[in-house]
């Protein structure tokens, strides 16, 4: 094999090995350990100075008790289900908001498209944490939204939006909206306009042409956008912590509390391993969709 080609192949594999596989194996090992008052707060620890006996004793002490504990405790599986529900609804809402915006940009005059795309990307110039914090000043009881509604006479008392699941939906949709708009716009921008014109010439109305031609052809962008929103939203921690209330269960919050509040690293690692297992399926489907799209483009 050509050395240059071999180098190009090895570089991404070494990158994945160093930044994904090795950390995952460390987390997996901790998930099979037991909690202990020590630094780090778990046992057993691998001691190579004792030779082969130490290695065999190390693997003999690993167990699956943390995974059994997660299965028996309602908090954890309810958190997984709640995270799946919130991530799914947020993805649907993001699609309903993002598709018309992407379609509008694709239909805009060509000289306006770079400016419109820049406006979509512009929020990324600000810190993610600051953007989420800004919503507290907007949707809190004394926030700008309630003040505007009270001043206009539409409501007499502030609407409780902060510390609710609806606030989490709002935060996720706002934060991940560009990840939905950009792939959909990319799919719409590549579409042959003559296909829509042909459908209209053959008797379709513009609405029928949209449902029969435009929407099916933009499906790869829709699928990619849904995956790009759903995958990070499933493990989201910052948004539910800042905007959600105590009743908002998401596995990201539970994971953080186990690591930093309870200092139960083995249980937290078990939670992370299961979360990764849940995410493997959509990641594989996303990868397969990307490969199919590349083959289609060829």
Q: Which pLDDT score, from 0 to 100, does residue 247 have?
A: 79
Q: Which pLDDT score, from 0 to 100, does residue 205 have?
A: 82
Angle, CA 148 vertex, CA 145 and CA 149 arms, to 5°: 85
User: Digits of tens for pLDDT over the chain (298 positions)?
Assistant: 577 777 777 888 888 888 888 888 888 889 988 888 877 888 888 776 777 777 787 788 888 898 988 888 888 999 999 999 999 999 999 999 999 999 999 989 889 999 999 999 998 888 888 999 999 999 988 888 889 888 888 888 888 889 899 999 999 999 999 999 999 999 998 887 778 878 877 788 888 888 888 888 898 899 989 989 999 999 898 999 999 877 788 998 899 888 888 888 899 999 999 998 888 887 787 777 777 776 766 6
Q: Within a domain: residue 164? A: yes
Angle, CA 234 vertex, CA 230 and CA 239 arms, to 5°: 105
296, two tokens: 């289609």
Residue 276 sits in a domain whose CATH number is: 1.10.3720.10
Q: Within a domain: residue 26? A: no
In DSSP notation, 194-218 reads HHHHHHHHTT--HHHHIIIIIHHHT
94, two tokens: 């993001």
- Give the H or E element holding residue 35: strand 34-35
**Residue 35 phi, psi (nearest 5):** -70, 140
Is 266 buried (19+), middle (13-18) or exposed (0-12) by CB count in 10 A?
A: buried
Q: In whole angstroms, what is the distance from residue 94 CA to residue 170 CA?
A: 9
- Give the H or E element holding residue 43: strand 42-43
Range of the domain at 279: 64-297
Angle, CA 82 vertex, CA 221 and CA 120 arms, to 5°: 35
Q: Within a domain: residue 191? A: yes
Angle, CA 101 vertex, CA 97 and CA 103 arms, to 5°: 120
Q: Which pLDDT score, from 0 to 100, does residue 60 have?
A: 82
The answer to whether 220 and 286 have CB atoms below 8 angstroms apart is no
Q: Within a domain: residue 244? A: yes
Q: Within a domain: residue 220? A: yes
How many structural domains is the chain composed of? 1
Give the predicted TM-score (pTM) of the model: 0.86
Q: Within a domain: residue 54? A: no
Q: In whole angstroms, what is the distance from residue 178 CA to residue 184 CA?
A: 10
């Amino acid at each position: 094999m050509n050395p240059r080609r071999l180098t190009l192949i090895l570089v991404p594999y070494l990158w994945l090995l160093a930044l994904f596989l090795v950390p995952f194996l460390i987390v997996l090992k901790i998930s099979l350990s037991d909690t202990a008052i020590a630094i780090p707060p778990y046992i057993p620890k691998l001691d190579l100075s004792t030779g082969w006996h130490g290695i065999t004793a190390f693997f003999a002490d690993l167990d699956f008790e943390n995974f059994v504990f997660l299965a028996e405790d309602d908090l954890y599986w309810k958190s997984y289900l709640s995270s799946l529900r919130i991530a799914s609804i947020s993805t649907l809402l993001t699609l309903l908001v993002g598709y018309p915006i992407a379609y509008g940009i694709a239909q805009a005059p060509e000289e306006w498209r770079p400016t419109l795309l820049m406006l979509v990307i512009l929020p990324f110039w600000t810190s993610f944490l600051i953007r989420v914090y800004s919503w507290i000043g907007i949707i809190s009881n004394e926030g700008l939204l309630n003040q505007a509604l009270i001043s206009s006479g539409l409501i007499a008392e502030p609407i409780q939006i902060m510390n609710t699941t609806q606030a989490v939906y709002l935060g996720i949709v706002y934060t991940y909206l560009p990840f939905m708009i950009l792939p959909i716009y990319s799919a719409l921008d590549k579409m042959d306009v003559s296909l829509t014109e042909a459908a209209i010439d053959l008797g379709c109305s513009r609405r029928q042409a949209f449902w029969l031609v435009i929407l099916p052809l933009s499906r790869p962008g829709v699928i990619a956008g849904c995956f790009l929103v759903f995958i990070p939203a499933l493990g989201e921690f910052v948004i539910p912590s800042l905007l959600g209330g105590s009743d908002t269960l998401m596995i990201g919050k539970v994971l953080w509390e186990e690591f930093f509040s309870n200092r139960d690293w083995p249980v937290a690692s078990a939670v992370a391993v299961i979360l990764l297992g849940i995410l493997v399926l959509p990641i594989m489907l996303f990868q397969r969709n990307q490969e199919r799209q590349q083959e289609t483009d060829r």
